[in-house]
Amino acid sequence: MQESLRALLELQETDRGLHDLEQYKVDIPNKLEDMETVQSEAETRLADQVTKVAEIEKNRRQREQDLQIAQERVQKYQGQLYSVKTNKEYDALQTEIQAQKNLISELEDAILQLISESESEQEALETMRGETESLVERLSEERKALESRLSAVDEDVAVKMDERKRMAMRVENPVLKVYNRIRRNLHGMTVVPVKKGACSGCFHIIPLQIMLQIRQGRRLVSCESCGRILVVEEGLEH
């Protein structure tokens, strides 16, 4: 029985390795999907910033066109001052000229504001572009590593399965059946040591009589609370 329990502990380590490999087959695709999301969001933010800068430049060009039109109107109205024949016409032109000059002042202020805003947003764009390029490069390397790891998982699983078969042959068949049944039900550690007088799987206190049976190692002893197979705390005694 002692030899079967030793083999059972080794089998459990192999099963843990198999579980980790199977988990890789779930975790790696999830990580790859998360990477795609991160990259997509970064590229979307970059595209939004490009659009923002382009919109500012579009507004600035529009203001500059409006400014040119207003300046041309001032020149036109000023030229007409010399050809008016009544004070009313003269006053009307002066009013229009002043209105256009006010508009020119507003447009010049708006253009200066847009230039300043454009410079700031362009600087932010360049920073964001550099960060996005670095992110894409890093994610590409990580993606290749994960894809390479994923492609090797099936081969690693096959190796582990062969190893498991060899180890299972060293375990007495009744013990192996109990182990496999408990493992299916618990989906975790099946063989656990008794620590400080308690099952380390569920912390149930083990009676002294049961502790003696565990130490004798003559038969398989399970925790009456969680059903896990119990071994002595310091490992199997020789």
Is residue 158 scored above 60 in pLDDT? yes
Cα–Cα distance, 169 to 234 (Å, whole number) = 25
Cα–Cα distance, 174 to 120 (Å, whole number) = 75
How many helices (DSSP H) and strands (DSSP E) are in the chain?
A: 4, 3
Is residue 207 scored above 90 in pLDDT? yes
Cα–Cα distance, 109 to 103 (Å, whole number) = 10
Strands of 191-195's sheet in order across: 198-199, 191-195, 229-231
User: Considering only CA atoms, which of 206, 178, 179 is closest in space to residue 194?
Assistant: 206
pLDDT at residue number 234: 58
More confident residue, 9 or 42: 42
pTM: 0.66
Q: Tokens in use for 53?
A: 């800068």
User: Considering only CA atoms, which of 172, 234, 163, 178 is closest in space to residue 2?
Assistant: 172
Q: What mean pLDDT do residues 28-51 have?
A: 96
pLDDT at residue number 2: 73
The domains of the chain are located at: 23-167, 173-231
Cα–Cα distance, 78 to 216 (Å, whole number) = 115
Is residue 123 scored above 90 in pLDDT? yes
User: Tell me: the pLDDT tens digits for 166-204?
Assistant: 989 988 898 899 999 988 888 778 999 999 899 998 999
Q: Tokens in use for 173?
A: 């068949």
Cα–Cα distance, 19 to 152 (Å, whole number) = 15
- Say whether domain 23-167 belongs to CATH 1.10.150.120: no
User: % helix / strand / coil in the chain, to the nearest 5?
Assistant: 75, 5, 20
Is residue 238 scored above 70 in pLDDT? no
Is the backbone of residue 229 left (phi > 0), alpha (psi -120 to 50) or beta? beta
The DSSP code for 218 is S
Cα–Cα distance, 220 to 213 (Å, whole number) = 9
Compute the half-sphere exposure of residue 183: CA atoms within 13 Å on the CB side of its CA: 17
Tell whether the torsion through CA atoms of 68, 74, 75 and 80 is positive or negative: positive
User: Tell me: the pLDDT tens digits for 77-108?
Assistant: 999 998 988 999 999 999 999 999 999 999 99
β-pair partners for 191: 229
